[in-house]
Amino acid sequence: MDDAEQRAGEARVKELFIQRMEALGFMRPAGMKLDQYRVMQKEICQKLAYMTDEGLQALAEVMQGQGGGKSGDRFPIAAKVLAEANRIEQPAADASPLIRKVFASQVGAEAIQEGFAPELLHWLRSNRRWPNSYVLSLMRTEARPGVTRWQDLQRREGRGEQLTAEEAGWCRRRRDVVERCKNARRLGLGDAA
């Protein structure tokens, strides 16, 4: 997602989610200062810029029943909104700043080079935090069968052997995920420039 797409996405979130919720009477959470409320809304807009119009409308519909306060008329806090948004519509691999940063780092370069990038991407999407050395060790171990299978199938293809439909499909899916990881790295390195 480039800068223009990000800005357009943020404007969509503001219009289809934030303004819709406020038009329905949702007010800032009790005890939250106005400037904190605006920062929270800006953060929601930035993080949900990847969502489609339909996804944002679905999110607004779901969140209408999850207002805070005694009367249920307080704007839901960002953590609640983001968790529900993630259930409704997952971000693409290139949309997450965390995924970009991880793959732009030495960790991401090693994951791509050693072949465990698909497993790392899956872990990042599920956990939404920077992987520590223990997690990376687990990823390497979990990825070993997939990496071995990938290398074996590539060798067989290189020798001109015909792969089964299942094997060819598995290779295509893994290749697509690796390409998404490489793209996230390119985008992350571009963000840093």
For residue 118, what pLDDT is reported? Answer: 93
Write the CA distances from 63 to 20, 21, 30, 40, 119, integer angstroms: 11, 8, 17, 16, 32
Confidence of residue 52 (pLDDT cuts 50, 70, 90): very high
Whether the predicted pLDDT of 156 surpasses 90: yes
Mean pLDDT, the chain, integer? 89
Taking the CA atoms of 171, 173, 179 and 181 in sequence, report the sign of the dihedral they define.
negative
First to last CA, the chain: 15
Mean pLDDT score, 17-29: 93
Query: Looking at residues 11-15, what average pLDDT do you find?
Result: 95
> Considering all CA atoms of the chain, what is the largest pairwise distance in Å, rounded to the nearest integer?
69
Note the pLDDT tens digit of each residue in 63-118.
998 888 888 889 999 989 988 998 898 776 555 778 889 999 999 999 999 999 99
